[in-house]
């Protein structure tokens, strides 16, 4: 089988409402959807969703990187995942969203060729994964109301954004805990908002309301600060922006700078690199979470959920991006139903059909 062409189309889907984090506001899911075509008639679909607030990439750059990759990939067998990985590695130093789009599409083709859903190819530990659901930054009353509504809808883990100030954050978590009761897990995500010393003080206050873990309390490059917080916090500490690839994961694992690591396909360049990250963490005794960008559609979420369900060391998921979309631009895969249990398609590949 040989790649004969790669088509790319941009999609822009409004969110049901703006999503606020400490780094900024997101209003649309914006991504580059690719179709990898082959000489056997099989095609695979993938997505690069550049979250500029996290990865620094934009849509125009992602599209251009995909077009650049096409020239290097023509004539390559897309089921040779290892070969594809190293061709992409040589073609561009970074560009993780563009690489992710190609990677997902190639795994889609591999599943179709093998006649198996991708979650089985990746390990087959389960065909389902449970996700939390995220509450963006807002007033305490509004956040508490949203969290309570999610619990009524069956969710037992709430992830909430914080990072605008101690007084405001304490009020938010207090209100959420009172609204959801004692049995619901609360995860908080600061998106790099604090210094290490601030983080410990704020986490201690927030833990008065029983929080499960804190995601990315300090700046992405502050590995020393992250290590300091982890070693002095009673609450589990998880990295996000501090880990883009397997090299970052190895640095964090060597320092014991985290308790949990959040893998996102759009940060690391796709499933192949994500498997490396998880293997490093599993060897070091560090559990992983599978996360997503708010800009992703059901293509990226289906791919991420397939990986998260497939391997045992990924014990948590934050794969709620499709719940916020006003509509789906793509048929197949995981839909918009707002439910904590994501069920993987049993069709070969990811179960993708095509753009609507």
pLDDT in tens, 306-334: 999 999 999 999 999 999 888 888 889 98
Is residue 215 part of the annotated active site? The answer reads: yes
37-57: average pLDDT: 92
pLDDT of residue 17: 85
pLDDT in tens, 244-301: 999 999 999 999 999 999 999 999 999 999 999 999 999 999 999 999 998 899 999 9
pTM of this structure: 0.95
- Cβ-based burial of 23 (10 A; exposed 0-12, middle 13-18, buried ≥19): middle
Is residue 189 part of the annotated active site? The answer reads: yes
How would residue 338 be classed by pLDDT, with cut points 50, 70 and 90?
confident
Is a pLDDT exceeding 80 seen at residue 23? no
The 3-class secondary structure across the chain, one letter per residue, is CCEEEEEEEEEEEEEEEEEEECCEEEEEEEEEEEEEEECCCCEEEEEECCCCCCCCCCHHHHHHHHHHHHHHHCCCCCCCHHHHHHHHHHHCCCCHHHHHHHHHHHHHHHHHHHCCEHHHHCCCCCCEEECCEEECCCCHHHHHHHHHHHHHCCCCEEEEECCCCHHHHHHHHHHHHHHHCCCCEEEEECCCCCCHHHHHHHHHHHHHHCCCEEECCCCCCCHHHHHHHHHHCCCEEEECCCCCCHHHHHHHHHHCCCCEEEECHHHHCCHHHHHHHHHHHHHHCCEEEECCCCCCCHHHHHHHHHHHHHCCCEEEECCCHHHHECCCCEEECCCCCCCCEEECCCCCECCEEEEC
Is residue 224 part of the annotated active site? The answer reads: no
Q: Tell me how far apart the terminal alpha carbons of the chain are, to the nearest angstrom.
A: 27
Among candidate residues 161, 169, 241, 320, the one labeled active-site is: 161
Tokens linked to 226: 């992250």
Among candidate residues 132, 169, 215, 320, the one labeled active-site is: 215
């Amino acid at each position: 089988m040989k790649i004969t062409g790669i088509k790319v189309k941009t999609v822009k889907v409004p969110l049901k409402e703006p999503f606020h984090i400490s780094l900024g506001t997101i209003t649309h899911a914006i991504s580059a959807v690719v179709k990898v075509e082959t000489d056997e008639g099989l095609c695979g679909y993938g997505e690069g969703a550049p979250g500029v607030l996290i990865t620094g990439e934009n849509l125009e750059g992602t599209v251009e990187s995909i077009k650049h990759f096409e020239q290097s990939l023509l004539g390559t067998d897309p089921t040779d995942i290892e070969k594809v990985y190293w061709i992409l590695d040589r073609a561009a130093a970074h560009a993780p969203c563009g690489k992710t789009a190609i990677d997902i599409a190639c795994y889609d083709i591999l599943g179709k060729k093998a006649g198996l859903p991708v979650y089985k190819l990746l390990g087959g530990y389960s065909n389902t994964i449970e996700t939390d659901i995220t509450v963006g930054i807002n007033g305490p009353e509004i956040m508490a109301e949203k969290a309570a509504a999610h619990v009524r809808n069956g969710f037992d883990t709430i992830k909430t954004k914080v990072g605008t100030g101690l007084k405001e954050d304490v009020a938010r978590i207090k209100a959420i805990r009172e609204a959801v009761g004692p049995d619901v897990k609360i995860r908080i995500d600061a998106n790099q908002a604090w210094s290490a010393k601030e983080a410990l003080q704020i986490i201690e206050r927030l833990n008065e309301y029983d929080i499960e873990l804190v995601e990315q309390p300090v700046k992405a490059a502050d590995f020393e600060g992250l290590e300091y917080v982890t070693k002095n916090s009673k609450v589990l500490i998880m990295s996000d922006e501090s880990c883009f690839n397997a090299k970052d994961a190895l640095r964090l694992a060597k320092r014991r700078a985290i308790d949990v690591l959040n893998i996102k396909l759009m940060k690391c360049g796709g499933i192949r690199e994500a498997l490396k990250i998880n293997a490093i963490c599993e060897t070091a005794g560090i559990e992983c979470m599978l996360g997503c960008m708010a800009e992703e559609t059901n293509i990226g979420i289906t791919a991420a959920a397939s990986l998260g369900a497939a391997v045992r060391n990924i014990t948590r998921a934050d794969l709620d991006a499709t719940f916020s979309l006003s509509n789906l631009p793509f048929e197949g895969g995981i839909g918009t139903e707002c439910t904590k249990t994501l069920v993987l398609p049993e069709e070969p590949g990811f179960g993708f059909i095509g753009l609507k």
